[in-house]
Amino acid sequence: MNDILEGLLSYVSNYPGRIPKAELDRRWDEIQKGATKEAVLREIEKRFTEALKTLGPNLVSADETKEQKQQQAQQVELLALGKELRKEVDKLFLEYDLLCKIEYLSIKPEIQKEFQKSARARNQQPIEFYKRLRPYYYRAGFTAPKILNDIKSIKFLGSDLMVHVEMEKILKRAEQIVNDLPREVKLEVYSKVHTILGLQLRPIAGKETLSLHALGLAIDIDPGSNPQVIGKVAKAINDILDSMPSEMVPDKVSQGHLEDSNIKRDLSITSEERLLQAYEKLLSTSQDIQAFLEQKTNDLELLDDWEQTYLSKKDDPKLGNQPYALLGNLIVAFGGGNKESQIKNGIRKIKAVKENGLVTIPLELFNALNKSNATSGIEWHTQKDIMHFETTVPSTFKQSK
């Protein structure tokens, strides 16, 4: 990192005024964590108002005049200090703006392009978008420009993506394992993989935490056909499995079809065996759901008609009853909500599941990535992120704080 940047980062320690350094350090930390100026100033206001109250005018003393004078002096001092602190906070925010600009400019062009793309989608300036995302990196313990500059464009199984150099090593190993497979198997793996996403500049969906994708330390393989089975989707799928006659689902368990906690706890099996068990369970769930969709969409309307049916009968109380509810819930869960565009999105995903099941990533690829130290989202206990593979963050990447 260049000197200007170092200078800005250590701005507080060079501060010569009379506000305690610890106070400014704390404010600087708050700002970097994403506090708004309004919030910081409001908090200062509150603190000083409270402090002034403690210097109230109703002291009883033998020498009242002297006490009052002393009190007045303290009040004047406190007001001056508050004013100065507000001024310093103003300055800190200006410094922070400047820091963000300089940092953004120190990011290499190919990553800046990603910021431009994401910013455009949000109708923002790239620097504004960087400023919005920076607190997530900071809170996770990363110096944003430093870790971003370790991300690069690579090819994996014929797909172009951007990942961190650590992830690149893992993917290279995995690709070598795939390339060493018997020719037909290898070609099968290559032919089944279409799109791989690496770097995604965002927090974890619906959370205040940075996604490993924003560090280039996670990849998603064919997200369109390997959905996330988490939250409401997991529940909708479990409800469907629960509703199925047991002869149709020979391996049906009474509860928690996607819960593999017993697999995880068994330390006697290797990680490859554990992965195989998770994969087989997922495959059987996938087949059950396909069977359900096959039956339901044939029994009622085709999914094409379902869209119209659903949208026109959305407020029909009958929709709350079987068999609409189970399919409807899955559509809403997959689409992320009840709005027309979400219903359409949900139906698109259901069609993909009906066609391809819940997983199109070949077992051989799961194995190759597992052997190369990438953790698969299908190994999570109760909920699955089927498309997702990640690596743990080496602690040396974090800034020393």
Contacting residues toward Zn ion, per CB under 5 A: 218, 220, 388
Give, for 67, the enclosing helix (H) or strand (E): helix 64-106
The encoded tokens of residue 263 equal 């697999």
* DSSP SS3 for 161: strand
Q: How far is the CB of 377 from Zn ion (least distance, A)?
A: 7
135/227 with CB nearer Zn ion: 227
- 92 vs 359, which CB is nearer to Zn ion? 359
Name the minimum Å distance from CB 335 to Zn ion: 19
Query: What secondary structure does DSSP assign to 335-395, as a single string?
Result: HTSSSHHHHHHHHHHHHHHHHH-S--S-HHHHHHHHHTTPEEGGGSSS-EETTEEE-PPPG
Least Å distance between CB 290 and Zn ion? 23
Residue 75: CB partners within 8 Å, gap ≥ 6? 52, 55
Residue 198 CB, shortest distance to Zn ion, in Å, is: 9
Cross-sheet strand order for the sheet of 375-376: 196-197, 218-221, 388-390, 375-376
Residue count of the chain, please give it: 401
Minimum distance, C-beta of residue 220 to Zn ion, in the bound complex (Å): 4
HSE on the CB side for 291, CA within 13 Å? 16
What letter would DSSP give residue 123? T
Q: Identify which of residues 228 and 297 has a Cβ nearer to Zn ion in the complex.
A: 228
Nearer to Zn ion, 85 or 221 (CB): 221
Nearest CB to Zn ion, comparing residues 226 and 238: 226
Q: How many CA atoms lie within 13 A of 95 on its CB side?
A: 23
Of 228 and 367, nearer to Zn ion (C-beta) is 228
CB of 156 to Zn ion, least distance (A): 14
**In the complex, minimum distance from the CB of residue 218 to Zn ion, in angstroms, rounded to a whole number:** 5
Residue 220 vs 260, nearer CB to Zn ion: 220
Beta bridge partners of residue 393, listed in sequence order: none
* Contact yes or no for 163/148 (Cβ under 8 A): no
